[in-house]
Structure 1
C-alpha cells in the first residue's frame, strides 16, 4: 500500500546553481536525496508548473517547486505479537537486541514472523515510515544490536549517517583457524555470479571494508572483535571466508567441518552442534538523529557463543603447546 504526499516550496538565493536533487534535499530535509532523486526520475517534480525529470539540472532562484509523490507504507505486512528485546526507546528511535533465528524483514520464503511484523505490533504508527523504520539489517542467525527509526525524519538522518559511516558497529565472532594478528579486509562485494542468494568478493562489486583484531587465541580458532566501515550483505562472513578464516558454524561460507588433531569429544560435539555463524553485534554507537546526542549501547555475547568459548578454552588449556594450523 502507499499514500500520496504533496510538498511545495520556492528556491531562494542559497539554492541558485545547485543540482535539482541537491536543492530539493536542502528544501525538504525530512526526505533522503535518494528518495528525492527517484521522485524526479518518476516525473513527480514540477518547477513553475513544468515537469523536471533530470536530477543534474541547475535550479534558479524564485522557481516554484511542487512534488506530488507516493510513499510506500508497511501496511501490506501484518502486525504480529512477537517479543522484542528493546534496550532503548524514545519518540524517535528504538534499539533492539535481536536473537538468532529471527529474520529482520519479510522476503522470499519468509512472508511474516519478522522484526518488521513485531515492530508494527509494538508501535503501530511506525507503519507510516518506509520499511517500518528499518535502516540496517542483521542476518537471520546473527544476534545483537540494531537501531530502528520511528519517524521519517529520524530515518532520513540515520540513513545519511550510515552512508557517511558515522554509525559505529562492532561485532564479536569466532573464526576458524589460529590467527596471530588483526588487520583490515578492503575488498568489494557483490552478488555471487551463479548463487544468487550468496555474496562474494568481486572487483566490480561495491566497496566493503572490515577491520578486525584478535581478542582471544585458541588452538585452532580465534575470537575476533570486528568493526564495519560499510554494511554490505553478509560482509563479515564473506570477508573472513575470503582470508581463509570463515566463521564457526557458517552454513553458507564456512565450508566443511575440518577435523582437529587430538580434539576431545566435547570440542567435536560443540563444533558440530553450532549450527549458525558465530557472529554477534555487540556494540552500537551513533549520534541521535534528532537531538544530536552521542549514544552507545552494548550487548553481551549470547549463551551459545559463551558455551563454545568455554569449550575452546578447555581444549587450549589441555594442549598448551599445540597450535593447529587449519
Structure 2
C-alpha cells in the first residue's frame, strides 16, 4: 500500500540550528529517521520552496519545510550472517566483491539472503543509512565490485558522484559473436512492454544510456570485452550488447544460450552448456573518497567460472588456428 503524503511546517526556535533531518524528525515525529533521510536524499523535502538533498543542511527559525512524498509501508529487514568478501573498509565506506548468485536488495521472490541482510549483520549501525548504504546494484548473477556507504554523509556524496558520472565502473564480459573493434552504444533503455522481467532499448519513455566497450581477446565465435558504464541503467550492459547483436554468453534472460562453434570440442560444448549465468564481472571501481577526497581504485579478478570459460574458448581458438 502507498499513499501521497504532503506535509508542511514552520521551523521554530526549538529547531533553530538543527540539521535538516533532525528538524524534519522534530516537526513530524510520526515518521522514522530512516524514512526521513530517504525522503531528503530523494529530493522530496524543500526549504522555502527549494529542494535540499542534504540531510546535514542547517535550518533557521521561520523557514517553511515541505515534504511531498509517496508513503510506502515501512519494511524492517533482518540481519543475517552472510559472508561478505570485503576488499576495502574504513569508517565511511565498504568495497565488496559480490559473488554471482547473491541478490543485492530484498525484493519479490528474495525477501532475505541478500547483501543488505548481510550488511545489517556485519555493521548494525548501517540500519540508520537509507537502503543500508547501498549506492548502486549489480544483477543477481553478475559478480564484482560494489561500494557501500557506512554513513549518511558518505552516501549523500557517493549518490551525487554517481549521478554526476564521477564514479568509474569497468566490467569484464564474454559476448557471443566476433567484434572487429571496440565502440560505443548509446541507446535509451526502458522496461520491455512484452516482458516485464526484461529491459529493452526504447526510444519512447526510455532513459538515456551509454556503454563503452573495447576488445580484450578474440575467440572463434566469442569475444572477451572490457566495458565501461557512462550511465547506470538496469541490465544496461546486457541490453546494449543484445541490441547490437552480441548477447552475453550464458545470459538466461536475453538469449545467451550455448552456441558452440562448428567443430567445437566436447570440453568447449560442456563448458558452454554448464555456464548458466551472464558472463559479466565488475572488475574495476574508481572513485573519489566521499569524506577525504582521495582518489581510490580497486580491482577484482574474474571469478573461476569466467576464467575457465575464457580458457576453454582460448584453447579452441588456438587449436583451429594451427
Relative to the length of structure 2, the TM-score reads 0.81
In the TM superposition, residue 217 of structure 1 has moved relative to its aligned partner by: 0.3
- Residues 255 and 170 of structure 1, relative CA distance in 2, 3 Å threshold: closer
In the TM superposition, residue 260 of structure 1 has moved relative to its aligned partner by: 1.8
- 2:147 corresponding residue in structure 1: 147
Q: Secondary structure at the match of 1:126?
A: helix
- 1:65 corresponding residue in structure 2: 63
CA contact (8 A) 2:284 2:300 kept: yes
- 2:233 corresponding residue in structure 1: 232
- 2:94 corresponding residue in structure 1: 94
CA contact (8 A) 2:98 2:146 kept: yes
Q: Which runs of 5+ in 2 are unaligned?
A: 1-10, 19-36, 53-59
For 1:291 and 1:113, the matched residues in 2 are separated by 33
For 1:188 and 1:32, the matched residues in 2 are separated by 27
- 1:197 corresponding residue in structure 2: 197
CA contact (8 A) 1:171 1:225 kept: yes
Alignment of 1:153-302 (within 5 A): 153-204=153-204, 205-302=206-303
For 1:73 and 1:314, the matched residues in 2 are separated by 54
CA contact (8 A) 2:85 2:98 kept: yes
1:82 aligns with 2:78: no
1:312 aligns with 2:313: yes
- Residues 162 and 34 of structure 1, relative CA distance in 2, 3 Å threshold: farther
CA deviation map 1:266-301 (0-9, x unaligned): 111110100000000000000000110000000011
Range that drifts further, 249-258 or 286-295: 249-258
1:35 aligns with 2:36: no
CA deviation map 1:22-59 (0-9, x unaligned): xxxxxxxxx7997363124xxxx5x5xxxx5x869xxx
CA deviation map 1:204-227 (0-9, x unaligned): 210000000000000000000000
- Residues 33 and 230 of structure 1, relative CA distance in 2, 3 Å threshold: farther
- Residues 153 and 259 of structure 1, relative CA distance in 2, 3 Å threshold: same
CA contact (8 A) 2:248 2:256 kept: no
Q: Which runs of 5+ in 1 are unaligned?
A: 1-5, 11-30, 57-61, 322-326
In the TM superposition, residue 197 of structure 1 has moved relative to its aligned partner by: 1.6
For 1:100 and 1:251, the matched residues in 2 are separated by 14
Relative to the length of structure 1, the TM-score reads 0.80
For 1:175 and 1:155, the matched residues in 2 are separated by 33
CA contact (8 A) 1:8 1:67 kept: no
CA contact (8 A) 1:8 1:66 kept: no
